[in-house]
A = this chain, B = another copy of it.
Amino acid sequence: MDNIRVDPYESVPKYHQLYTILRRRVEEKHWSPHEAIPSERDLEIQYDVSRTTVRKALDMLVSDGFLYRAHGRGTFVARPKLRQSLQLLASFTDDMRMRGFKPDQKILSLGRVEPSAHMRQRLELPAEASSVIRVERLRYADGDPIALHTAYLALTPEQEITRAELTAQGSLYQLLEQKFNLIVAEADQTIDAIVASEREAALLQVPVGNPLLFVVRTTWSHRRRPMELVEMRYRADSYSLTIHMTR
């Protein structure tokens, strides 16, 4: 039995309601992996929406990796996926919570610095911009230090951030959204392997020379302005990136 229905008076679009309904069904294992779900014409009738709306919902479920389609055969439940840490562009805070750890942080430094030429270019700073905000934070999972993050923010001199605000909010991205309406829309990342320097080793509590994942990310706001350049150094023994790819 299911009495979940798509409600035409909801402000949420119908295709999104249907997406949520079907996604829950998959996650609650109402169907088994590789089992066929009802056909698009069945769903059309069952939820009293057009086939276009059904297909929009299914498109999203396919691109999110919950379903796959086979022309002439049907639409099927995908194998359960491992939680992926990249792609969705989560903050460290959210990433840790999804992985089941309690996130914490220590702000090592916060202040304005003069941007390098490279930074000016990456952040598309205007010539008159004489400073960016630099935030260095040590980040913890369940009390253990696992990453060192150094962020450079393209903010005007009027746009300030205090330690107290960042400590209270926890997530830098959420703070930037609340204070300045800067919403992260996209990012480029490069991923490298490095070995820990003396300072990094001391902060992350690993021996000098231990491997670290080194991630450099540039983020753009929804207005398509560069907002942040951040270097992240992760202890390789307690953190790895997971990615799902589809062709």
Asked if B88 contacts A243 (CB within 8 A), the reply is no
Interface residues of A in 51-109 (CB under 8 A from B): 52, 63, 65, 68, 76, 78-79, 81-82, 86-89
Question: Is residue A224 within 8 Å, beta carbon to beta carbon, of the partner chain?
Answer: yes
Question: Is residue A45 within 8 Å, beta carbon to beta carbon, of the partner chain?
Answer: no
When distances are taken between beta carbons in the complex, the residues of chain B under 8 Å from A187 are: 244-245
When distances are taken between beta carbons in the complex, the residues of chain B under 8 Å from A191 are: 191, 213, 240-243
Asked if B193 contacts A193 (CB within 8 A), the reply is yes
User: A245 touches which one: B63, B81, B186, B212 (CB < 8 A)?
Assistant: B186
Asked if B190 contacts A241 (CB within 8 A), the reply is yes
When distances are taken between beta carbons in the complex, the residues of chain B under 8 Å from A10 are: none
Interface residues of A in 148-186 (CB under 8 A from B): 184-186
Contact-residue bracket for chain A = 35 or more
- Specify how many copies of this chain sit in the oligomer: 2
Given A246-B185, A247-B89: A211 and B194 within 8 A (CB)? yes
Q: CA–CA, A184 to B246, complex, Å?
A: 9
Asked if B190 contacts A193 (CB within 8 A), the reply is no
Q: Which single residue of chain B is at the shortest CB-CB distance from A241?
A: B191
Interface residues of A in 213-234 (CB under 8 A from B): 213-214, 220, 224, 234
Asked if A224 contacts B79 (CB within 8 A), the reply is yes
When distances are taken between beta carbons in the complex, the residues of chain B under 8 Å from A28 are: none
Given A193-B194, A193-B213, A195-B195: A82 and B188 within 8 A (CB)? yes
Q: CA–CA, A213 to B79, complex, Å?
A: 27
CB proximity of A59 to chain B, nearest CB, Å: 9
When distances are taken between beta carbons in the complex, the residues of chain B under 8 Å from A211 are: 192-195, 211-212
Q: Which single residue of chain B is at the shortest CB-CB distance from A195?
A: B211
When distances are taken between beta carbons in the complex, the residues of chain B under 8 Å from A192 are: 211, 213, 236, 240-241
